[in-house]
Structure 1
Amino acid sequence: MSRAWNVSGHERHTVLLIAKSALAATVAWWVAHDLLRAASAAFAPFSAVLTMQVTIHRSVWQSLRYIAAVVAGVALQAGIGLLVGPDLLAFVVTALVALVLGQWRALGEQRAQVGTAAFFAFSTYVSSSAHGDRAAALGQIVLLVLVGCGIGLVVNLGIAPPLRLRSADQGLRLLATEMEALLDDMAEHLDSGDLDADRAEQWRTAGARLEQAVVQARAGLDTAESSVPFNPRRLLPAHRGRLAFDRHRQVLGALERAVHQLGSLTRSLSQWRDTEHTFTYAPTLRAYADFARRLRDIARALAALDGETPGGGAPEMRRSAVLAQRALQRLLDCAGTYELPLADSSRPYGVLVVEATRLMEEFQNTCDVLQGTADR
């Protein structure tokens, strides 16, 4: 709780979302129970809480899908009730049709609500005696859902509407930090020729963490993008120039490709450890270590970027990229000097050189994107 109070981040967003959900549910219950005197008042607060999403855009879409699912379920029950009546056969037909409608992909995450609404509607239907009372009870369910969704949207929109711009930056920083750690470890142990089985396994594990970091970075970017539409805070001068995410997508794409190259590189290094005496090509290993160290410096600069000043770290990254290019050239020269069997497909040397070149291309692409941002 203290972290949520002192630091703007996931904890604060979670606490705020819980507080807003509780407020929306309370208001919805008061309206449904005390003002409307509804028999099934719980529909309203349930709908209000379901509407409370991490972004306004998602709140709107989830609300529309939820309302559509509820209306479909209630309408289904009303139609079957009129044709068959309130007996077991009607419930069987309702269940079958509702579960089939629940497969409709257009409803997204709310597909299951078709069956839920139909079952509640059936319970309400059989508990009423007259046709007029049944129709009013079913209509009241739809009304309560509309009330709950409306209150949830108003609360989410009116009280600190979530604008998650920093999630895009945080995802990239986490990915760059993981990449920096792997490259730093590779540089240290390649320099000393330490390529034992345990080290290779650690690198493969780190590569798996990088893949997960890519997924998290993409999720953070999607959240940031979806927090902008319908959000009144996007009009504030403080957010001007920070609502476009083309730079983030380009950088993430380049880093994702670099992650794949790193995965291939670690597998190739593991093969080298399995099939060769590392001391034979120790100078090449040291050249690789220097190259990895220069790439690490680029990742470190990327991890330190400040989202408030896009392109602010571009000069440092540009200098690191120049040094990395020189290190790559030394690696290529070393491979030629010591006559590495690059053309032998059964040995890892050709793959190592190719992956180093590709890695440099992706890191250089990242630097170019950030430099283009700084020049605007």
Structure 2
Amino acid sequence: MSGGRTTADQTDQGRFALMARWWRRALAYDGDERDTLRIIGKSTLAATLAWLVSYVALDARSPAFAPFSAVLIMQVTVYRSVVQSLRYVGAVVAGVAVQAALGFLAGPDLLTFVLVAVIALAIGRWQVLGAQGPQVATAAFFAFATYTSASADSQRLRALGEIVLLVLIGCAIGIAVNVLVAPPLRYRGAEYGIRGLAHTLKDLLADMYPVLAEGVPDQDTTGGWRSRAARTGGMIGQAWWGLETSKESLYLNPRRLLRRYRGHPGFQGYESVLGALERTLYQVAALTRGLDRSREEEGEALGPFLRRYAAFLEAAGEVAAVLTTLDETTLLPQAKRLERLTDDAEARRDDVVQETRERSLSLADPSMPYGILVTEATRLLEEFRYTSRVLLEVAQDAERSSGERKQRGRSAGGG
């Protein structure tokens, strides 16, 4: 028997290592891992309280409706919990109403069930109910089962009303727990999205400029750059989702009234920066296509041109590196540094243009790559300039607001 480790042992160790890293991230900082633990804990608390109310206090016939509802509407933001609870209650009421109307009119037979299913499924397609649409049919089917198990009309009415009551109780408890127990406030979610996109941009540029500095890249290299640039669409979508979630987390959230959250610069600036980063990544994708095309150009002028272009991309990567560490607590110095680095990138772009002039390279000839690459560099630079300007304005506004609050505080203390 071999004394070495088997593949299964290695797989188990890999899984344990992944789990250990997951728990270290959850305990170290506020991120997705800690959000997961927070949602699990709050859902457990809400479900337990809902069960106690429905089973112990009310002695309901179907107490599980309450904890199920409490868990179902536990969302990543308070606003989303309220919206989903309203839709869920509407779906349940609609399903129970369909069953009540048809049950009392036609009786609890198979034809009635078919009609209930058809109507409930049709109502569930209503866009107003959103993701809770399928709950119309679910509630109708449970209501039908409850209706058939009761013997008298009064018992049936009471049972159907109890379903609606339990759902209301569960939703109310779920919302209360989400509001009162560490309500999610995702100010930093917008920053995380911007950092992620900036990391992608920085890494891509960091791979490009050393190759260009050495000469004309081969087809596999430029094709790889194009593929990486084309795959950023999913990350862009995630970044926008993070921004929208951050904005949603403010609605109906009592934590935003606390003093330490009043100095937040807001999301309008981050929204502009995220839009600029999205356009920047598209410009880089176009730039990689231009570099791919440059392989077709022969001549001794292409190498020096690409070396100048590599210097520009290196400077652009320095700009992206600042965005990878974007932090609202140090936004003003970061914005000023971003402005200086953008000036450096502009100087490198000017060197590229100067190179084309010294070597009489045509920027207007569409059959040559020079004009395309200079145009994409200029557009890339414009987005960086816009980003630095937006962040500087946001940081200065935040500084002024903070100064005004401190002044009011000193005035109030002196009074």
Normalised to the residue count of structure 2, the TM-score between the two structures is 0.87
**Corresponding position of 2:164:** 142
* 1:349 positional shift: 2.9
CA distance in 1, matches of 2:186, 2:300: 51
Determine helix, strand or coil for the equivalent of 1:311: helix
Kept in 1: contact 2:51–2:63 (CA 8 A): yes
Aligned AA (1:180): K
Aligned counterpart, 1:38: 60
Q: 1:318, 1:280 → 2: CA distance?
A: 32
1:373 corresponds to: 394
Kindly provide the amino acid, as one letter, of the partner of residue 356 in structure 2.
Answer: A
Does structure 1 residue 89 correspond to structure 2 residue 111? yes
- SS in structure 2 at match of 1:161: coil
Cα distance change of structure 1 residues 2 and 282 upon mapping to structure 2, 3 Å threshold: closer
1:278 Cα deviation (Å)?
A: 6.8
Change over 3 Å in CA distance of 1:279–1:17 after alignment to 2 = farther
| Aligned equivalent of 1:324 | 345
Q: Which residue of 2 aligns with 1:15?
A: 37
Alignment of 1:303-314 (within 5 A): 303-314=324-335
Check if 1:55 corresponds to 2:77: yes
1:341 positional shift: 3.5
Indicate which of 90, 104, 109 corresponds to 2:126.
104
What is the rounded CA distance, in whole Å, between the counterparts of 2:212 and 2:46 in structure 1? 57
Match of 2:217 among 168, 186, 195: 195
| Aligned-partner Cα distance in 2 for 1:21–1:116 | 21
Residue 363 of structure 2 corresponds to: 342
Report if aligned partners of 1:234, 1:243 keep a CA contact under 8 Å in 2.
no
> Alpha carbons of 1:258 and 1:297: their partners in 2 closer, same or farther (altered >3 Å)?
same
Gaps of 5+ in 2: 1-22, 398-415
**Which secondary structure state, in structure 2, belongs to the residue aligned with residue 223 of structure 1?**
helix
Please say if residues 216 and 306 of structure 2, whose CA atoms lie closer than 8 Å, have aligned partners that are also in contact: no
Q: 1:69 aligned to 2:91? A: yes
Q: CA deviation at 1:139?
A: 0.4
- Contact 1:294 1:323 survives alignment (8 Å): yes
- Check conservation: 2:265, 2:395, Cα contact below 8 A: no
| RMSD over equivalenced CA pairs, Å | 1.4
Which residue in 2 is equivalent to 1:124?
A: 146
The offset of 1:3, in angstroms, is: 2.7
Match of 1:282 among 283, 303, 306: 303
Offset of residue 93 of structure 1: 0.8
Give 1:243 shift.
Answer: 6.1
Deviation at 1:76, TM superposition (A): 0.9
Question: Residue 247 of structure 2 aligns to which amino acid in structure 1?
Answer: E
The residue identity in structure 2 corresponding to 1:53 is Q
**Alpha-carbon separation, structure 2, partners of 1:88 and 1:164:** 50
Contact 1:179 1:210 in 2 (8 A): no
1:119, distance to aligned residue in structure 2 (A): 0.9
Moved more, 5-14 or 108-117: 5-14
Q: How many residues align?
A: 375
In the alignment, what sits opposite 2:228? 206
Distance in 2 separating the partners of 1:97 and 1:243: 49
Q: CA contact under 8 A between 2:212 and 2:307: conserved in structure 1?
A: yes
Q: Give the % identical residues.
A: 49
Question: 2 CA distance for matches of 1:52 and 1:288?
Answer: 51
Change in 2 beyond 3 A, CA 1:229/1:34: same
- 2:354 corresponds in structure 1 to 333
Structure 1 Cα separation of the partners of residues 386 and 24 of structure 2: 41
Local SS of the residue matching 2:122: helix
Change beyond 3 A, Cα 1:312–1:79? farther
What residue in structure 1 maps to residue 373 of structure 2? 352
Aligned residue number for residue 184 of structure 1: 206
